[in-house]
Structure 1
């Protein structure tokens, strides 16, 4: 059912195979309904790319909402859509039907701050420690940046993360993982957020633990 502001005015809701809705103050109209046409190889490849990225980002949504928030400021996009778009274009490997995510190229945060330098991770029991280099001549303006840590377990399809961890100047941070993460493959990422929250760095893939 749709409502209208007149015979030729704006409508909202469903009308035939069209649906209208509001997105950040703008009216969006799109077609709905199923197609009887067999999908092409290119369409199938696109769907598989999207599925791989969306599956990974699902448990990362709160982290991505912080990491891509400034990237979409002043646009019609939301952080999740921007993250999906970037990673579909830049973090996919293989050809259909064997398309998968290249974890080393994934971005969970995108910004202009200096990223982590030579990050590394070690796991002792359930305690994951991350380290990074701190230059002797570190700029005063970034020494109070806070670490953002993200650890994804593909087998469990779950993630743990920290939005505001240790200061950049400390050169290390740690996170206590759930017991069921131990002994499983872990994909580890780090980014930085300014102390005032007004800027972030690109995330960096630390590695596979």
Structure 2
């Protein structure tokens, strides 16, 4: 739609109709330059140029910047766990998107712009199968083997829980944002499992989760978080 531009010239007040982004040669009225509203008028190579200069529609206030950074961290931090989450929450209404929302609200810590992800607040599985009690982790300095032990006793009130349930271990390197897991690494009745780390992975960068899958693969337990620096579960 044509835009009406008004200006004052030596010959008096003149009303012009011009189209945005149209180049027009100089006229007898002289050369225009400057800004009129959202329109910029200037001369280049002997031609009169008129172009639009839209207002900034994205002001990026501090609150908006903080929101975007938190959301980006939550999404980026959970992305390596996407496949694990699909298995861990297979019988739940929760989706990856919902878990990103929960991470945004509960697992992003610090003040803008120095946010970070607290993985101890992340759950990678959910269900009614009994999780073993007294899970402990051990790591010998200089090795690449992490050991896990747990109580094998099953409560009388436990739902769909048996000695031959599958033990699953998940490890996330928060520096490389790389994940590795071993499903069915052992049985509940074994009371122990050993997890081999990739070469170059430093223990202080690692986050672990354990969860149980029922013997018939139909249900999971909740997951529990552990780290080498804090061998007791969170």
TM-score (norm 1): 0.70
Query: Per the alignment, do residues 101 and 146 of structure 1 end up closer, same or farther by CA in structure 2, a change over 3 Å counting?
Result: same
- Deviation sequence 1:76-133 (CA, Å, 0-9, x none): x6x3223212322322222322222112111111222223423221224121111222
> Does the CA contact (< 8 Å) of 1:151 and 1:161 recur in 2?
yes
Largest Rg, 1 or 2: 2
**Match of residue 178 from structure 2:** 158
1:104 equivalent in alignment to 2:120: yes
Distance 1:57 1:147 in 2: 22
> Does the CA contact (< 8 Å) of 1:153 and 1:184 recur in 2?
no
Query: Per the alignment, do residues 155 and 40 of structure 1 end up closer, same or farther by CA in structure 2, a change over 3 Å counting?
Result: same
- Deviation sequence 1:32-52 (CA, Å, 0-9, x none): xxx822133333222222222
Q: Give the gaps of 5 or more residues in structure 1.
A: 1-34
Question: Alignment length, in residue pairs?
Answer: 170
**Match of residue 127 from structure 1:** 145
Counterpart of 2:87 (choices 45, 61, 66) is: 66
Alpha-carbon distance, 1:182 to partner: 4.5
**Match of residue 37 from structure 1:** 58
Greater RCO (Cα-Cα under 8 Å, separation 6 or more) = 1
**Match of residue 109 from structure 2:** 93
Distance 1:121 1:108 in 2: 18
Q: RMSD value over aligned CA atoms?
A: 2.4
The runs of at least 4 consecutive aligned structure 1 residues that moved more than 6 Å come to none
Equivalence map 1:1-209=2 (5 Å) = 36-72=57-93, 79-124=95-140, 125-135=143-153, 139=158, 141-142=160-161, 143-182=163-202, 185-209=205-229
Distance 1:46 1:111 in 2: 31
Query: Per the alignment, do residues 193 and 89 of structure 1 end up closer, same or farther by CA in structure 2, a change over 3 Å counting?
Result: farther
Alpha-carbon distance, 1:136 to partner: 6.6
Alpha-carbon distance, 1:149 to partner: 0.7
- Deviation sequence 1:170-206 (CA, Å, 0-9, x none): 2211222211215552111111111222211221111
Distance 1:113 1:90 in 2: 25
Q: Give the gaps of 5 or more residues in structure 2.
A: 1-55, 230-234
Distance 1:195 1:85 in 2: 31
